Amino acid sequence: MKRSRINDILREGDAFIRSFGYTLPPFAYLSPDALRARDHTWIKARRMGWDITDYGAERFDEMGLFLFTVRNGLTSDLGKESAMVYAEKIMISQRDQLSPMHRHDLKVEDIINRGGGTLVLELYMADRSGEIDRSAEVQVMVDGTSRSLPAGGRLKLDLGESVTLFPNIWHAFWAEDEDVLIGEVSTVNDDLTDNIFEQPIGRFSNIDEDEPPLHLLVSDYDTYL
């Protein structure tokens, strides 16, 4: 993706988020120089911040996702007492924009429709080897109520609804009728190692630096911070 396109997505996404009364934390709006000048150790270690991905496919409008990690713990702290073992994200899925089929080894997450259109999730169970089971019935919790779907069934979440996804549930999702603001509350999030995709794709975008970054992405931290 061109950096200029990413910068535009950041501006558009921030406006969309604000339209629902949600405001990102102050560090979101720091310039790269300002972020470098402050103590960014906590933010960098936890990969908190902006994340615009096309999964390396260069087709963001068809397959992509806007994310901002608001808070996050560390996987090394799991099992410790008085440790931060949770994470929160705010995300935007555009209409008919696919977040491709994947699962996690570690993370348990609640996916929440915070505003906009209908969020659709395609769901499969994992077999004992972790691969997609294309015959098993899917069991998920939707706001504390058990739901059963056939393999590959599509769960639709309206405004305010949420689903709990455990590591044995493969999932893809997209906005059906208009863009959706998505909340995610989860176990510690590790996007470097804890995303298992069905297809051989990447987690982050390849960036063409045609202009300076408006704000750094989490994938920029190792280079810029």
Tell me what pLDDT residue 149 has: 98
pLDDT band at 51 (very low <50, low <70, confident <90, very high): very high
Rounded average pLDDT over 86-113: 97
Rounded average pLDDT over 197-211: 96
Task: Kindly report the CATH class assigned to 3-224.
Answer: mainly beta
pLDDT band at 4 (very low <50, low <70, confident <90, very high): very high
SS3 label, residue 111? strand
Tell me what pLDDT residue 139 has: 96
pLDDT band at 65 (very low <50, low <70, confident <90, very high): very high
pLDDT band at 193 (very low <50, low <70, confident <90, very high): very high
Tell me what pLDDT residue 63 has: 97
pLDDT cut 90: percent of the chain above it: 99
d(CA 157, CA 111): 9
Rounded average pLDDT over 92-103: 97
pLDDT digits (tens, 9 = 90+) for 105-133: 999 999 999 999 999 999 999 999 999 99
d(CA 39, CA 20): 30
d(CA 97, CA 44): 28
Tell me what pLDDT residue 84 has: 95
Identity of the residue numbered 106: L
